[in-house]
Each structure stands twice: as C-alpha cells, then as structure tokens.
C-alpha cells in the first residue's frame, strides 16, 4: 500500500544520482548570503557540530546529512517548511484537502510565485570579515595546536565579530554555562594579563581552558614557588567556572601556565 506522502514522480535513487539534496542545499545557502563556514557555525546551536569540509561534501554529493542534521539545516537556514526546502510542495500534500483541492492549491501557489509583489526579495548580504578560528576547541591538546598555528580562515558577518578580536575558539563542555555554551565561538583578544573577574583563555599544562580569572593567597607550602627573585610574593591564579557544578581550579605552582587572551563575548 502506498504511503500517505508517496509520490510516483519521486525516485530516491535518481535524486541521489542528480545530487538533488546537495544542489538544493548549496542554492539555499547562497540565497541567504552565507558561506559554507558560516553555515557550519550556524548548525552548532541546533546540536550539530561540523567543520566547513562537511558542508562542502554535502553540497558536492560526496556524503549526505543524516535526518537529524537535515532538520538542523532547515532551522539554521530558516526554512518555512521541509517541502519548501527539498521538493515540490505537492510532495507533502495538505491532509485537509482532497486531490482536487490540492491541485487548486498548487495552481494558486504557482500564480502567487509568478507575481513579483508576492515573492520574497533577496536581502542585501551582510558585510563579511574573515577571521582565524582554532581547528580544535579549548580542550586537551589546545596548547600545542595554538603554538603550531593550527587555524582556519572563516567568514563571519562583520557585525557578529566583537571589535578587537584576534581569533575565535570553540567552547568545549558546559562549565561556562550560562555565559558560554558548548560549541559556541569565544572571541579572543590576545593579552598577557587579566584582572580578577575577567573571562580569559588559558593554557595549563598544554590544555586549553576558558574560565573566569581569579587569584588567591598561596598556601604556606607554595609561598616560595610564588615568590620572585626580588622577594615579592605573587598571588596564585585560580580558574573559576560560571557553572556552579564545577569547583574552582587553582593553578599549581609547578605547572606550565599562561594567559592567551581576554574573551570578548564572555
């Protein structure tokens, strides 16, 4: 028995051979003035974290998005309906109409689309700016990646990039919720020092952290390690999470620690 949404004019094998999904995805992305990198970034809030290369493969037909990734694409590209994005409107008929009513609806839609006054006019694309984005998130191995200059160039709407930002890195985990979320871009301005209370990007023994910077008096056993050659005792850095489920992390005296920069959107 034919399915409710079946269409004798649709053939999945033929559609795959013609790269129907990839071609339509590329068309819709371009119509919204987005680069492949911007689309990849726009998927993160919907639970899909992919690199620019994945979007490129989808559009070329080298691979296809999963059903859930396809739904995320619909949200990221602000599709009004699944049918509007990937097929003829008749592919998903209105269950409230009989075949004659569906035919009239399709005919009326065609008439509306032929009239300029009813069509959505393309918006002027926002000015873009290319920025460096770390290839790995702020997590294990980040220090080595930063030292090796492992970045990719990604285009962003200029209005979305804070003034003074040098590069971006993806947040890893939920320790900075609700200020910064997993997969979100943190925009970094390079600097060598921070004031207590500022959010920064740090490298501690090779691992990247995005935390609130704080300080405390060193424990008696660590005082010598935090005293410089002039006899001045320096405070011990402490990395604090915004999420109360994570305890503050004092920086051990014997560790390799450095401040990379200030988070501008934290």
Q: In this predicted model, what pLDDT tens digit does every residue of 236-261 receive, in sequence order?
A: 999 999 999 999 999 999 999 999 99
Partner residues linked to 213 by β-bridges:
239
Helix axes 52-60, 36-43, angle to 10 degrees: 110
pLDDT of residue 68: 75
The rounded distance, in Å, linking the Cα atoms of 265 and 106 is 47
Contact yes or no for 210/249 (Cβ under 8 A)? no
The rounded distance, in Å, linking the Cα atoms of 134 and 143 is 11
Domain spans of the chain? Answer: 12-118, 128-263
Residues of the chain with pLDDT under 70: 1-10, 79-97, 102, 106, 110, 112-125, 140-141, 266
Domain 128-263 has CATH 3.40.1710.10: no
pLDDT of residue 262: 97
Determine the straight-line distance between the first and last CA of the chain, rounded to whole angstroms.
56
In the CATH scheme, what is the code of domain 12-118?
A: 1.10.260.40
pLDDT of residue 168: 95
Omega before 81 cis (within 30°)?
no
Q: Which of 211, 203, 209 is nearest to 143 (CA)?
A: 203
pLDDT of residue 163: 94
pLDDT of residue 6: 44
Domains 12-118 and 128-263 share a fold: no
pLDDT of residue 165: 97
């Amino acid at each position: 028995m034919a399915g409710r949404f079946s269409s004798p004019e649709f053939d999945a094998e033929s559609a795959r051979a013609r790269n129907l999904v990839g071609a339509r995805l590329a068309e819709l992305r371009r119509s919204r003035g987005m680069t492949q990198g911007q689309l990849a970034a726009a998927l993160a809030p919907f639970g899909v974290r992919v690199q620019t290369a994945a979007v490129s493969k989808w559009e070329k037909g080298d691979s296809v998005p999963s059903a859930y990734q396809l739904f995320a694409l619909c949200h990221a590209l602000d599709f009004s309906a699944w049918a509007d994005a990937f097929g003829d409107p008749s592919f998903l008929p209105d269950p409230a109409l009989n075949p004659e009513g569906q035919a009239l609806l399709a005919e009326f839609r065609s008439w509306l689309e032929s009239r300029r006054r009813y069509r959505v006019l393309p918006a002027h694309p926002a000015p873009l700016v290319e920025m460096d984005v770390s290839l790995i998130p702020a997590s294990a191995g980040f220090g080595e990646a930063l030292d090796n200059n492992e970045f990719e160039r990604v285009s962003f709407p200029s209005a979305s990039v804070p003034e003074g930002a040098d590069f971006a890195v993806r947040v890893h985990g939920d320790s900075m919720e609700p200020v910064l979320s997993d997969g979100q871009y943190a925009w970094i301005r390079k600097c060598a020092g921070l004031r207590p209370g500022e959010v920064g990007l740090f490298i501690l023994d090779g691992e990247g952290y995005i935390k609130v910077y704080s300080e405390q008096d060193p424990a008696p056993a660590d005082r010598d390690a935090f005293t410089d050659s002039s006899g001045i005792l320096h405070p011990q850095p402490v990395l604090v999470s915004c999420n109360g489920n994570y305890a503050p992390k004092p920086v051990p005296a014997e560790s390799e620690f450095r401040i990379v920069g200030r988070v501008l959107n934290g």
